Amino acid sequence: MNFVEYSDVIRDGDVVIVYLGHNSLMPVKVQHGAQTQTRYGAIWHSSDFIGRRYGSKVTCSKGGWVLVLHPTPELWTAALPHRTQILYTTDISIITMMLELKPGSVVCESGTGSGSLSHAILRTIAPSGHLHTVEFHEQRAQKVAEEFQEHRVDHLVTVRNQDVCKDGFGVSGVADAVFLDIPSPWEAVGHAKAALKRHGGRLCSFSPCIEQVQRTCEALVDHGFQEVSSLEVLLRVHDVRTVSLPLPDFGPDPAAPAEPGATEEAPPTTVSSHASISLKTTTPPREMPGHTGYLTFATKPRT
Which residue positions form the known binding site? 114-117, 135, 163, 181
d(CA 235, CA 100): 22
Q: Which of 41, 33, 78 is nearest to 60 (CA)?
A: 41
Cβ(55)–Cβ(69) under 8 Å?
yes
d(CA 54, CA 32): 17
Q: Cα dist. 151→71, 73, 148, 235 in Å? A: 9, 11, 5, 29
Q: Look at residue 103 and give its three-state secondary structure.
A: coil
Q: Look at residue 272 and give its three-state secondary structure.
A: coil
Q: Which of 170, 175, 171 is nearest to 129 (CA)?
A: 175
d(CA 224, CA 203): 12
Binding residues for S-adenosyl-L-methionine: 114-117, 135, 163, 181
